[in-house]
Structure 1
Amino acid sequence: MHIALAPMEGLVDNILRDVLTRVGGIDWCVTEFIRVNDRLLPASSFHKLAPELRQGARTAAGVAMRVQLLGSDPVCLAENAALACELGAPAIDLNFGCPAKTVNKSRGGAVLLKEPELLHAIMAEVRRAVPAGIPVTAKMRLGFETPDGALDCARALVDGGAEQLVVHARTKLQGYKPPAHWEWVARVQDVVRVPVFANGEIWTVEDWQRCREVSGVKDFMLGRGLVSRPDLGLQIAAERDGHAYQPLDWQALMPLLREFWRQAQAKLSPRYAPGRLKQWLAMLTRSYPEAVALFGDVRRTDDCQLISQMLGVAASPNSCVA
């Protein structure tokens, strides 16, 4: 069983990848999507969203990181994929699942599921451009409006050269509204010869058990569930192996929260760093009652020094009121 950390634009950046992979239970992670339009991007565009490329394409904990590209031009995507590999990407992932309206309007993400022929062309062109030893994978949803074409899309991607598929078990129109339709993951796995990862609505070990039973697959990608419960991967692995496991409590989580805040202040201006902390804290409230109280305090201020005091850490020299 492999457990992957999902790429979530605007949420799982290099800071959160670093902190979450320190906990353990994650086999690999993926960058936020790098948008490819009509040109070869400069190396700085890759390093901005994937600074791990400068350290062997691994997080500080040693977890491998894949580079995800999003776009609709097969040749341009292929050229950028080749450059990403030159910069050290160990695998290229293609995004056919993003449901954002702005992305779909510019012909990226889930809207391409309306065109399985284009999916095949993109995958085939990228596969030809990427060195043989570097995997090319894809993340898809069940479709744009309905799942009727999901199997055709999956076949198109695999026939084009995809070595793995991650299936977010909802359509674009369903967004992130429960339930996830894991039975469709089983149908996809039935028609392709490569490993399929199930993704969507896995918040707890019990959710994982149901997903495994319904989908029949052995590999999983965790997104919001892992962000809100950082040791979910470890909990799942322990359940799979029949081992006892004591879940990560708030006291053990606090050093990670402080490290996240330290890195957020180092990377972002005082205007934006508090928002990143509030974003993660809001998700932690789902799993930790202590996060509810802390979030209630933090949400009322953008003063970095005051937030540092609330977290019990020394203020950054650059801290100030945003």
Structure 2
Amino acid sequence: MSEKTSTTRRTMLQGIGASLAVGGFSGLTTAAEAEWTTAKTGTDSSLYDVEYTNAGAYAVGAGGVVLERGPTQWTKIVDGGPTGNGNSLYGSDVTDDGDALWFVGSSGAIGEYAVRTGNLNDHSAPMDNTNNYNDVAVTGETGSANVYVAGDSGKIYYSFENGETGTWNYVTPGSGSAIQAIDFHGPRSGHAVDGNGKVFATDDGTTWNPVGLQDANVNFYGVDSDGDGEATVVGGGGMVFHLAESQWTADSTGDKSLLDVEVEDGDGYVVGGGGTVYSVDTTAAKFDELAGSWTAEATPVGQNLKAVVRGPNGAPDVTVGAGGTVLEK
């Protein structure tokens, strides 16, 4: 896997993980147990995404709920989303400094939550657009972040000034099919996938070019952007697609749809339907050697798992899904 930009969220999380792993997780499952166990959440709302911040892990979901991982269980800290109207939240991301959690969802919902102070800023309906938003990618630091929002209308809305009013613009990378997922490996470099089986790449945050997979014959649901010419895409039929050195390879993990992927330095997960989790752990020097290395992991649930995040420096890996499901490892 190619070298990451030094200011990316993942690099930042390596630094904050040390503080998270010390004394912040008593009473909850730890990574040392090496198996997936169910965490208490106190909600039956479906959860669609999960991220680590400086204050720990957060999950977002149906009805606009935001959950924070506490010392004994996950606790609801936001109910109703950024507008209070109960719009479901489908995607989230965190600034490079770990201090702001961004989330997006239905009816144009966009929120920015300051994890240290608890302040919630509403950036909803940019350019008066109230379409559903499926995912968000954020690069840069709190207060000056680049924000990229994947729209159900096939548009990517973006702001290079922390989502402030009047700073938004948009681009339509493909034919207008919904942008299902978006991820960045640098301040303005990343990948996105749409509902028409297309993968797009950008190196300036505004211009998107197709990078293949026209004949995949499955829907795409998740993308992990790992460098220029390097990405992992997951979708229907248990398919995992790897882009490395401008070449695509494909793996099949079974017949369950895969909804999210998180891979870094040859280590990570894909998750999906029916409680499906596959892991990869390889010391391969080349990113394309991930192909064929996926291993099924046992989980205690049958619900669809919609998102996964790796725990930094000893903090638990977390996957979330339907019915308020949270699994930790």
**TM-score scaled to structure 1, two decimals?**
0.31
Task: Give the number of the structure whose residues are more often strand, by fraction.
Answer: 2
Task: Give the number of the structure whose residues are more often helix, by fraction.
Answer: 1
Which protein has the larger Cα radius of gyration, Structure 1 or Structure 2? 1
**TM-score scaled to structure 2, two decimals?**
0.31
